Amino acid sequence: MAERVLTERAIEEYRITDEPFYLPVGNETELFEAAYHARLPVMLKGPTGCGKTRFVEYMAWRLNRPLITVACHEDLSATDLVGRFLLEGEETVWHDGPLTTAVRYGAICYLDEVVEARKDTVVIIHPLTDHRRRLPIEKRGTLLEAPPEFMLVVSYNPGYQSILKDLKQSTRQRFVSIEFDYPPPELEAEIVAREGGISLEMARDLVLIGQKVRNLRGHGLEEGVSTRLLIYAAQLIARGIAPIAAAEVALAFPITDDRDLQRSIREIITTVI
Question: Between residue 51 and residue 90, which ones bind a second copy under the rule CB under 8 A?
Answer: 53-54, 69-78, 80, 85-90
With respect to a second copy, which residue has the nearer C-beta, 115 or 272? 115
Site for a second copy, residues 216 to 235, rule: CB under 8 A? 222-223, 225-226, 228-229, 232, 235
| Partners of 44 in beta bridges | 155, 178
With respect to a second copy, which residue has the nearer C-beta, 113 or 149? 113
With respect to a second copy, which residue has the nearer C-beta, 122 or 272? 122
With respect to a second copy, which residue has the nearer C-beta, 124 or 272? 124
* Smallest distance from a second copy to CB 170, Å: 4
* Smallest distance from a second copy to CB 173, Å: 5
Alpha helical stretches, state H, the chain: 28-37, 52-62, 78-82, 98-105, 119-124, 169-172, 185-196, 200-214, 227-238, 243-247, 259-272
99 lines the binding site for a second copy (CB under 8 A): no
* Smallest distance from a second copy to CB 212, Å: 17
With respect to a second copy, which residue has the nearer C-beta, 96 or 205? 96
The edge-to-edge listing of strands for the beta sheet with 83-88 is: 2-4, 91-96, 83-88
Q: Are 205 and 251 in contact (CB under 8 A)?
A: no
Dist CA 155 CA 87 (whole Å): 34
One-letter amino acid for residue 74 of the chain: E
The CA distances from residue 100 to 60, 79, 146, 199, 266, in Å, are 18, 10, 9, 45, 48
With respect to a second copy, which residue has the nearer C-beta, 186 or 258? 258
Task: Please give the angle made by the CA atoms of 252, 204 and 248, to the nearest 5 degrees.
Answer: 15
Concatenated DSSP letters for 211-268? HHHHTTBTTTBSSPPPHHHHHHHHHHHHTT--HHHHHIIIIITTT---HHHHHHHHHH
Site for a second copy, residues 198 to 217, rule: CB under 8 A? none
Grouping H, G, I as helix, E, B as strand and the rest as coil, residue 134 is: strand
CB neighbourhood size of 36 (10 A): 20
* Among 102, 107, 124, 151, interactor with a second copy by CB under 8 A: 124
* Smallest distance from a second copy to CB 8, Å: 14
* Among 4, 15, 165, 263, interactor with a second copy by CB under 8 A: 4
DSSP conformational letter for 13:
G
Size of the site for a second copy (CB under 8 A): 99
* Smallest distance from a second copy to CB 78, Å: 7
Site for a second copy, residues 237 to 266, rule: CB under 8 A? 238-241, 245, 249-250, 252-255, 257
Site for a second copy, residues 138 to 177, rule: CB under 8 A? 138-139, 141, 143, 157-161, 168-170, 172-177
- What does the per-residue mask of binding to a second copy show for 5-44, with x meaning CB under 8 A? -x---x--x-------------x--xx--xx-xx-x--x-
